[in-house]
Every structure is written in C-alpha cells, then in structure tokens.
Amino acid sequence: MTDELDILLSQPLPSVADDGFSVRVMARIGRQRRFRFAVAAAYVAVCVTLTFLLLPVQSVGAELNFVITQVASSTAVSLAAAALILTLVLEGQFSRS
C-alpha cells in the first residue's frame, strides 16, 4: 500500500485551466497595494500638515537648534557615529568579496 501511495504522490499533477484567474487575482492584489499605499501617504500628509499647523514652529526650531548643537559637540555621539560609519564601510567591503 505504501508503494502505491508513493507512486501516486510522485507522479506530476495535470495542469488546471484557470481561465485567467491567477492574472485577475494578481491584478487585484496590485490594486489593493496601491490603494493602501495611497491611503497611508494621505494619512502621513494630513498628520504632517496638522503637526506644522499646531506646533509653535519658532520654539521648536530654537529647541532643535540647541539640541543639535549639544549633540554635535558630544564625544560619545561622535564616537558612535564613527563606529557606525566604519561598520557600514567594512560590511560593504566584505559583502563585495
């Protein structure tokens, strides 16, 4: 019985005519992805617009300027950035070889 089952399972299945079903499904998936991307982009645009309208841009700019100045003069951040850049460069070199 096992031999018969192995023989049946090892034979290729006959092809099934799908009358364009696969093409229609793939087209629908593509449309759904584009629609979801458009909706997500619209949400992001609305959120960014509301953020800029509701936040006090002057004070945010001043705080951002202060934070960037403090971070740029930090030794620890500079070392971390150098380590990250070195890691990325070496990873790129090793992946090519």
pLDDT digits (tens, 9 = 90+) for 27-86: 999 999 999 999 999 999 999 999 888 878 778 788 888 888 888 788 888 899 899 999
Rounded CA-CA distance 97/92 in Å is 9
Rounded CA-CA distance 62/38 in Å is 34
The amino acid occupying position 85 is I
Question: How many domains does the chain contain in total?
Answer: 2
Task: Give the structural domain span for 38.
Answer: 20-54
41 and 65 both lie in a single domain: no
Q: Please tell me the predicted confidence (pLDDT) of residue 61.
A: 81
Contact 71, 77 (CB under 8 A): yes
Q: Does residue 8 belong to any structural domain of this protein? A: no
Q: Does residue 77 belong to any structural domain of this protein? A: yes
Rounded CA-CA distance 7/45 in Å is 59
37 and 65 both lie in a single domain: no
The number of C-alpha atoms within 13 Å of 18 and in the hemisphere containing its C-beta is: 8
This prediction's pTM: 0.46
Q: Does residue 27 belong to any structural domain of this protein? A: yes
60 and 97 both lie in a single domain: yes
49 and 70 both lie in a single domain: no
50 and 63 both lie in a single domain: no
63 and 49 both lie in a single domain: no
